[in-house]
Amino acid sequence: MLNQKVILASTSPYRRALLARLGIPFDVVAPNVPEKPLPGENPADLALRLAITKAKAGAALFSEGLVIGSDQVAEVNGVIMGKPANRQAAIDQLTLASGNRMTLYTGLALVNITADSVQSAVEPYYVQYRELSLSQIKRYIDTEEPYGCCGSLKSEGLGITFLSELSGKDPNALIGLPLIKLTDMLSNEGMEFPVSDAS
């Protein structure tokens, strides 16, 4: 149980870098899951559904192991945002976010292939945007090209300059993989971490 293979079902380099921080070996596969919301689906449910679907898609490629799926959905004033399709979509997303609070919902799922079990959760994270000018938004987009980032927010780059406040239980959720919750899930599957055996 302790030496089960860990697989990350994601093509995101940000999630890969975050998972590497846990110091465990893992493989990476592309889940190839459509990310379109269902009619009437709220952002938290969308993030959770996509995370579970990605983990299960990854699990279908292996006979055993623990497969991690994750997806992030942003919401501002009731409008759901995913990754921008192009420059204009990124401009529209950041124009809407300007001066408002964005909630980032990160869905997380862990599939145990052998046990045919799924652990899942949604971790919300909140960011408050400063008032942004159109010229600021365009310069940022042209510099950072945040097309692979939910809500066009590349917070590990210049996107952090657009924010005035951050809040949530796990700062890693901002980038797209809540490591605190993931550590709990992996511990539930018998994986040991350096500080997990405190007494």
Contacts of 137 (CB under 8 A, 6+ apart): 90, 91, 94, 95, 98
Number of Cα atoms under 13 Å in the Cβ half of residue 98: 15
CA distance 30 to 92: 28
Query: Apex CA 97: angle with CA 144 and CA 95, to 5°?
Result: 70
CA distance 29 to 172: 21
Question: Of 71, 92, 184, 197, which one is the catalytic site residue?
Answer: 71
* Cβ atoms within 10 Å, residue 167: 11
Q: Does residue 45 carry a catalytic annotation? A: no
Is residue 1 exposed (0-12), middle (13-18) or buried (19+ Cβ within 10 Å)?
A: exposed
Phi, psi of 53 (to 5 degrees): -65, -40
Q: Catalytic positions, please?
A: 71
